Chain A
Amino acid sequence: MTEKLLEIKNLHVIYETDEGTVYAVNGLNLTMNKGETLGLVGETGAGKTTTALSIMKLLPEKVGVMKSDCLTFGSYDIGGASKEQMRLLRGKEISMIFQDPMTSLNPVITVGDQIAEVLEFHYIDKAKASISGRVDEILELVGLSPERKTDYPHQFSGGMKQRVVIAMALACEPKLLLADEPTTALDVTIQAQVLDMMKKLKEKLHTSMLLITHDLGVVAKTCDRVAIMYAGEVIEMGTVEQIFEGDNHHPYTVGLFGSIPDLTKIERRLKPIEGLMPDPTKLHRGCPFYARCPERLEICETKKPGESPADSHMIKCHLYTKTEGQLQEGMQ
């Protein structure tokens, strides 16, 4: 029986900057179940990081504004949670790791102390010795020697730094881990190692994971379900099999897969998607992919497509959405 862990309905996030308003997330719907790994895929600027930050309520203070119809995590209502309530959740129930390990660690505090910190924040009564023991435990879990906990971040390599970051995130055994491109900044050889380790840990600690990435290969290896984002919306969502195989896809997804070089085929040229992502400072009516879609219809310019049932393979496109309560294919 799959339990719903995270539910987001109609999330809007805007950034109020000096140069104008940026519409980062526009009506996003997302659900996650317990124990699964959901891949959040999209190009740079699609709004993936913003979505994750919204779940943590870590948007830049005066600049980021979010509102939603529903944003719940287990039994917690994140949408309405106070600052202190969120603070208690962060690091304990929901953790987040970021892209660049080189700058994510505080350079003047030892690695051991930084890991101990997250335990101290959330387990106030624990004795120092037991916290210290836990730090050792978690370091070993990520493949580092506990002897190194008195070292400083600059004494570690990039891959090892990321392991420390992961250790910090998982120390309190959170239910949900938000991983924002955790291996993008690492060497390819290290990437595989770190991903493997994350997978094992996830299973051991029963953590669900939201893995943000633009690398479809990583998604194929590690995710159970996939959500594809474009211009602040989820335009396709389903299981890994539904997304990677199958015949029905959002035209953007088709383009995404088509632009990956395939070693097994002989192709003369890669097929990029024409055009650029729409300007985030302008709200678009209709489907955001309209300008670049090779299969666009007239209705796509003015009307936003609805979303088909979330449980199954969801494709947010006029080619697939029901108009009369039925799934239709290919309208003239």
Chain B
Amino acid sequence: MYRYILKRIFMLIPVLLGISLIVFSIMSLTPGDPVRLMVGDSATNEEVQKIRDEMGLNDPFFVRYFRYVKNALQGDFGESYRSKVPVYNEIFARFPNTVQLAVWGTLFSILISLPIGVISAIKQYSFVDKASLVTALLLTSMPSFWLGLMLVLLFSLKLDLLPATGVDSWLHFVLPSITAAAPTVSILIRMTRSTMLEVIRQDYIRTARAKGATERIVVLRHALRNALLPIVTVIGINFGFLIGGAMIAETVFAIPGLGTLLISSVRMKDTPMVMASVLFVAILISFVNLVIDIVYGYIDPRIRSEYARH
């Protein structure tokens, strides 16, 4: 099994490098000279160039890129243009909030979507089925931040049940998690439903019934176990969307996380901060996908047995 995990980790590295290269390339397209911004208009061009040479900003592209990667691996992501504080500090402080939001959001998404999807499939064309499909369709057609705003309108402002901003208690994460998870809920409901429908039509389900299994066992032990395989994969793919939703939810609910950091950095053209934020989020997503891959390797006996014998 270790071979499988190692293999997956190895495959991750070129992807991460690729992402960092793309992001670095994009950021280097930014117009404007950060040195000029630092020293102001009074300095002469020669002085600016001298400082640029000293800082290595005039070096060829790949030299700068590899320097960045080298530094990044040691935890040095440069200093914020705005605050002159090492970028890493700010990211480290905000990272936990975003992760919390993502975790709650994922849990919420799974706990809601899976049962609804399964029931929809078993009772196809019933009221639950049609209602869930309609709900999924509507959810996927609305911007998640708008859902967030509506939730705030209803639960915070009108009913005063849940807080609208900040991160002081777990209650503060309820509405933001729902907001972040909303786009993935509809995907997961539909995916669970269609996977279950496919699995229920399989021959081994008929065999189970022929053995005298109750419907409950047929659904839970035979159908769901098999349906879980593609569903787990989808949960992994969904995580990217979930993080996007989380970043937007942060702005609606004024949560100090990577999302709000990224957006304010972009507005203020704080390139090192933007670069690091994007990288961190991309790395987080890749890492989660890696975990999902490994989990999948464990729950699919075909993969597990292939690697177990070595």
A residues sitting closer than 8 Å to B (CB atoms) are 56, 58, 87-92, 95-96, 98, 100, 103-110, 117-118, 121-122, 151-152, 154-155, 165, 168
* Given A98-B203, A108-B225; A91-B212 close (CB under 8 Å): yes
* Given A104-B204, A152-B301, A152-B302; A109-B212 close (CB under 8 Å): no
* Given A88-B212, A109-B225; A104-B301 close (CB under 8 Å): no
Chain A residue numbers with a CB within 8 Å of B203 are 98, 100, 103-104
Contact B207 A105 (CB under 8 A): yes
Contact B210 A87 (CB under 8 A): no
Contact A87 B214 (CB under 8 A): yes
Chain A residue numbers with a CB within 8 Å of B208 are 106, 117
Distance of B206 from chain A, by nearest CB (Å): 7
Instruction: State which residues 189-204 of B face A: CB under 8 Å.
Output: 202-204
Chain B residue numbers with a CB within 8 Å of A106 are 204, 207-208, 222, 225-226
Interface residue? B209 (CB, 8 A): yes
Distance of B221 from chain A, by nearest CB (Å): 8
Instruction: State which residues 201-246 of B face A: CB under 8 Å.
Output: 202-204, 206-214, 221-222, 225-226, 229
Interface residue? B305 (CB, 8 A): yes
Contact B204 A165 (CB under 8 A): no
Contacts A/B (CB < 8 Å), 5 sampled: A87-B212, A103-B202, A109-B222, A121-B211, A154-B305
Distance of B86 from chain A, by nearest CB (Å): 49
Cβ-defined partner of A103 (8 Å) among B204, B211, B212? B204
Nearest CB to that of B204 among chain A residues?
A106
Contact B206 A91 (CB under 8 A): no
Contact A168 B301 (CB under 8 A): no
Contact B207 A107 (CB under 8 A): no
Nearest CB to that of A168 among chain B residues?
B211
Number of A-B contacts (CB under 8 A): 75
Contact A121 B212 (CB under 8 A): yes
Distance of B296 from chain A, by nearest CB (Å): 12
Q: How far is the CA of A92 from the CA of B211 in the complex (A)?
A: 8
Nearest CB to that of B125 among chain A residues?
A62
Distance of B218 from chain A, by nearest CB (Å): 10
Distance of B62 from chain A, by nearest CB (Å): 47
Nearest CB to that of A96 among chain B residues?
B210
Contact A117 B204 (CB under 8 A): no
Interface residue? B47 (CB, 8 A): no
Nearest CB to that of A117 among chain B residues?
B211
The 8 A CB mask of B273-310 against A (1 = contact, 0 = none) is 00000000000000000000000000111100100000
Chain B residue numbers with a CB within 8 Å of A88 are 212
Chain B residue numbers with a CB within 8 Å of A154 are 301-302, 305
Contact A118 B211 (CB under 8 A): yes
Contact B204 A121 (CB under 8 A): no
* Given A98-B203, A108-B226; A152-B210 close (CB under 8 Å): no
Q: How far is the CA of A100 from the CA of B202 in the complex (A)?
A: 11
Chain B residue numbers with a CB within 8 Å of A104 are 203-204, 206-207
Cβ-defined partner of A155 (8 Å) among B202, B209, B229, B305? B305
Contact B207 A98 (CB under 8 A): yes
Chain B residue numbers with a CB within 8 Å of A110 are 301
Distance of A175 from chain B, by nearest CB (Å): 14
Contact A91 B211 (CB under 8 A): yes
Distance of A332 from chain B, by nearest CB (Å): 50
Contact A90 B211 (CB under 8 A): yes
Q: How far is the CA of A58 from the CA of B208 in the complex (A)?
A: 11
Contact A122 B212 (CB under 8 A): yes
Chain A residue numbers with a CB within 8 Å of B206 are 58, 98, 104
Most buried by B among A56, A117, A168: A117
Cβ-defined partner of A152 (8 Å) among B212, B213, B225, B305? B305
Nearest CB to that of A56 among chain B residues?
B210
Q: How far is the CA of A19 from the CA of B90 in the complex (A)?
A: 64
Distance of B299 from chain A, by nearest CB (Å): 8
Chain B residue numbers with a CB within 8 Å of A155 are 305
Q: How far is the CA of A122 from the CA of B203 in the complex (A)?
A: 22
Most buried by A among B209, B212, B213, B222: B212
Distance of A147 from chain B, by nearest CB (Å): 14
Contact A121 B301 (CB under 8 A): no
Distance of B308 from chain A, by nearest CB (Å): 11
Contact B204 A107 (CB under 8 A): yes
Chain B residue numbers with a CB within 8 Å of A58 are 206, 209-210
Q: How far is the CA of A92 from the CA of B210 in the complex (A)?
A: 10
Contact B213 A121 (CB under 8 A): yes
